[in-house]
Structure 1
Amino acid sequence: MITLWPIYRLFNRVFAGFLLFLLVDYCYAQSYVSGEDESYYKSYQDGWQSGDKSGRGFQEWILRAPQYDSTEEEQYAGFFIAESNRESDLGSFASKGKAFGIFANGTSFEETVAFRAFGRPLGVGDVFSFRFKFSGFINKFERDSDKLSSVGFALRHTVEAYASSSIAKSRVFAFVILEGFSTYQIFDGSKRFNTRIFIDPQGAEVGFRVNDSGYDIQIITLSDHTIYNLNNRSFAQLQLANEDQNLSPLALRGFAFFNLNGGANNAYFNALQLSSNE
């Protein structure tokens, strides 16, 4: 089966792929944009905070970062609307000069997670896309944790978000920049999978499509607009709690953007979009 991806869109004259999936050997169903959100929308004029609900197709944000109270450590973690005139590494990745920013740096292991539920669970044929940029792991302080750091995105079976550690519950997929690796990593039914796609300093646009047996993913590196397709991959298998036994494993209810001890560099996200079939 041949899969033809995308119809394109422009952001500030910078190429980005709007991820629509045309299946050549199936009857083509008309796709439409069913959800979208951007960091420059009016709801974020006073910053990015828990409870913010902007755009359409998504529930409110739940932002989790531990409250550090140790006087012996320098620990900083949080969320903000990044602006290109203040963040030198943001550059053309910004949409109208802005992006969602997450930071986690200090002398211990800092972590930040932005949880969000979809307006309705993703079903077969639905596409979720976003843009993601991280410039690499650099210690902000002379001393730092020796635990493995990571930055990225996760799809989740549930919407539980009591703490940053909730990201480990019911995670069926993750797209990750992992400390020590020069390529994007995926965690799914194959556990850790090396995409062999080099991390792009300008960022990437990632599109995720649910199919009958798992998912397809498309990655577009923004510096050279190269398109990579990884099709027919499997979700991680879940050990569901008793109350979740009757839920479909393909009912993807939410997602999370995370920065787990990324260090001096911020993680940036933008251009959230959902498309569905009529």
Structure 2
Amino acid sequence: MDPELIAAKELLEKSIDSLGGWLEFWTAIVVIGLLIEYVPEFIERLKEIDKRSLHTKIGGILITVGVAGELFVGVIASSKETNLRNVTDSITASLNQEAAGARKEAAEAIERSAKAESNLAQANALAANALKAAQGFQLEIAQANERAANAEKETARLNKLAEEERLARVRIEEQIADRILTDEGVIKIAAELRPFPGQQFKIITYWESREPLALTNRIYSAIIRAGWKFIRPANRSNLIWGISGISVYVHPAATELTKKAAEALVSALDKQGLPSALREHNPKDDPTNMIQINVGTKP
């Protein structure tokens, strides 16, 4: 509200209050004039006419002045009241304008609030959709993890099967693969047999079979390298059919040195992955210090 309008309103109200006092004053003058005019007439009815005329004149003057004062004050009061109404109307208009502005601001605030609520509702909807999508993603992730776990289990199972098949193939290959004595193995066997130089030996195998014959030649090379002496049989005889593995025969009556040489040969062959067995000749056979080596088929 305009402070100047409020100040003008208060000033007019004070002026009207002041004029009200003046109106009472002039009204009192009129009353006094009337008293002066008519009261003496009853009190001094019998007095001289001149005195009564004077009283009448004074009373008339007072009445005239009082009425004039009432008129003057009434005119001014009317003007003040008009100004007061104008000021009041201005204040009312200002208040109405302020109220309209307040209503407009309130409407705008309500509109903003509605928009904010709408935005909040949209945000809540988006958040709900995002949460729903996140839950969907979590479900998909869980399903993917489950599929991955199942795939890992299946992969492990297949790997196990593949490993079992590989080991089976290795075992089969080992079973069907030729026995091999490497050059390094030949050197190591010769080194272990070298403490028994001149030890006599003979070796028998399946001369017509490729694998036993090849291994026999490698063992022969190692023994000859150690300085042992090969005794060639008068007749080239084959092993009896069905013998497998390597057997080292020594006569029970052989010397201790020969027996130790036979034991060293068995040990050296075992170390090179060629299992062999130390056996004794029939005691009824003629005593001999010669070691016999039988190389059969692969066990």
The TM-score, its normalising length taken from structure 1, stands at 0.22
Q: Which has the larger Rg? A: 2
Structure with greater contact order relative to length (CA < 8 Å, sep ≥ 6): 1
Pick the structure with more helix per residue: 2
